[in-house]
Amino acid sequence: MPASLSDHLVIGISSRALFDLSVENAIYEREGLAAYRNHQRGCEDDLLKPGPGFPLVKALLSLNQLLPGKRKVEVVVMSRNTAETSLRISNSIEHYGLDITRFALVGGASLVPYLHAFNVGLLLSKHQDDVQEAVDGGTAAALLYDLPPDPLESIERIRIAFDGDAVLFSDDSERIYQEQGLKAFLAHEKENARNPLAEGPFAKLLKTLSDLQAQSPLEKSPIRLALVTARDAPSHERVIRTLQLWNVSIDEAFFLGGLPKAEILKAFRPHIFFDDQHVHCDPAARVVPTGRVPYRRRRGQSGETPGVANPRPE
C-alpha cells in the first residue's frame, strides 16, 4: 500500500528557512545564478548553520519519539533549488540528525502547487511570494525573520506562541479596528461576544497541535501553546468562547491591551512566534524565532502569481 501523509502534521520548509544561507543568497543577488551554483557545488561538504526554522523543526520531529505509536510529524524540504545544488542541504540535515527524507526541488518554479500534493499544513519560508500564495490558497504559512543574535537556551518541551486576529482567527475584527478605530472594534466585539470568530490561516494548525497534546497525559504533554494578543477585556471574551467551541485548550494566554509582546515572549521562550504585523514581529524577532503571517488577499486585489524564475537559495 503506498505511503500517505494524510494523517500527519506536515511541515514544508525552504532550505533558507531551515539553514543560514545568507552568504549564499548574497552571492546569488550580487553575482547571479551561475556563481551561486558554483559556490554550492564547491562547498558541498561545508556544513550550514541552523536557520530561523531549525528550532521548530527539530522540536516537532522529536514528537515521533516522544509520542507512542506511528509517526505524527513529517518535514519536507521545499526548495527553489535544483537537485544539483541541494547536496549541501542534505549533508547538513544528516549532520544534525534531522529525520527528514523528503524533498521538493522545483528549479525556480513556485512551491505553492506542491503544497497540497504533500499535504502540507504549515509552510515556513523566507520567500515573500511563496508565503503570500500559500496563505491565499488556504495553507498556513509564515515569512521567517532571521534568528536572534543571542538565541535563548533551547528547552525540551515544544513551545509555540500565536497572535490571535488574522492568525488563529480571521482578520474581520482586525479590519474593523484598522478602518474604524478602537471604539468601533470594542463595540463590535462586545456585541458579538457569543458569536464565534471565523477561522484564520493558523486555526487548523492550532487544532492539529491541540489533538497531539491530547494524545499525551496532561502533565506530560510535550507541547505547550500560548496566545499572545493585543486584545484586552472585554474583547477577550469572544476569543475564549471561540477556543472553547473549537475544543482547543491554550496553556497560556496573554491579553496585553497594547503592551509590547517581546518581554512576554522572552519569558515564554517559544520555538517560534506567529504574528501578522511587522510592528510586533520585528521586536519579537530580536528575542525569539518569529514568523509573519501575511493577510489573505481578497478576490480582485492586486498581486500577480509568480511563474518560473531562476532557482535561488530557498
The residues that are catalytic are 163
Check: CB of residue 58 under 8 Å from CB of residue 77. no
Count of CA atoms in the C-beta half-sphere (13 A) of 166: 22
Query: Grid coordinates representing 101?
Result: 527524507
**If we measure between CA atoms, which residue out of 213, 132, 197, 194 comes closest to residue 163?**
197
Taking phi over 0 as left and psi of -120 to 50 as alpha, with beta for the rest, 56 belongs to alpha
CA 125/CA 142 separation, integer angstroms: 7
DSSP-assigned letters across all residues of 265-280 = HHHH--SEEEES-HHH
For cell 520548509, what's the residue? 13
State the burial class of residue 237 (Cβ atoms within 10 Å of its Cβ: 0-12, 13-18, 19+): middle
Count of CA atoms in the C-beta half-sphere (13 A) of 304: 3
Check: CB of residue 250 under 8 Å from CB of residue 207. no
314: which residues sit within 8 A by CB, 6+ positions away? 14, 15, 16, 79, 80, 81, 111, 125, 126, 127, 130
Query: Grid coordinates representing 219?
Result: 502533565
